[in-house]
Amino acid sequence: MAGVISNGDCTVDYSPFGPRAIRELSNNPPAAVVIDLSRLPSQGRDAAANLLQYKSLANVPFIFVDGDSEKLTKIKRLFPDLVYTERVGLVTALRESIANPPARKPRSISAFEAYKNVPLAKKLGIAKGKSTCPVGAPDDFERTLGRIPAGANGYAGKSSPLRLVDLVLEESGRTRTELPR
């Protein structure tokens, strides 16, 4: 994507996202922030949620590029005022967004907002073709969990091969005794 932007007469500063990048962006706001949603959309969503909290970035255009339509729909619900485009339209979106920067206030969006109304089983990673073994779960865990997705193998015994272990511990010392090998 950096090649697409560079060919559009823009300077690209591609840095790994983390605390240092957040500090740098908030101290020296860029002309725009471009987030590629085609690889890890949840990380892009969380990066935007984190950056939009800063007053210094309130007038910086945020442009989301590409991404799965189902995941884009969810992200658009969280950020309806941001710019969305496909890679082929990125340079145009950048030019227009930089020429007409947004006027918005900093806002705080919880990273957990994206999981609102998502069934607990899905939040825990219980899915079709996976066996799960709740270890140390409270007595009402099955009721709290609700309906297990179709095709999930339900609860496996401690001797079954597992792809997912939901470990609920009240104290860290129980890890060695409760976790199946």
Pairwise CA distance, residues 2 & 8, whole Å:
10
Pairwise CA distance, residues 109 & 78, whole Å:
8
Domain ranges, ordered by start, for the chain: 2-115, 120-178
Please tell me the predicted confidence (pLDDT) of residue 140. 81
DSSP secondary structure letter of residue 179? S
Determine the residue type at 103.
A
- Options 3.40.50, 1.10.3470, 3.30.710, 3.40.720; which CATH number does 2-115 get? 3.40.50
pTM for this prediction: 0.63
> Phi then psi for 113, rounded to 5 degrees?
-55, -35
Q: Which two tokens stand for residue 47?
A: 């990066």
Pairwise CA distance, residues 158 & 136, whole Å:
12
Query: pLDDT below 50 — which residues of the chain?
Result: none
pLDDT in tens, 101-144: 988 887 777 666 666 777 777 777 777 777 776 667 777 877 87
Find the length of the chain.
181
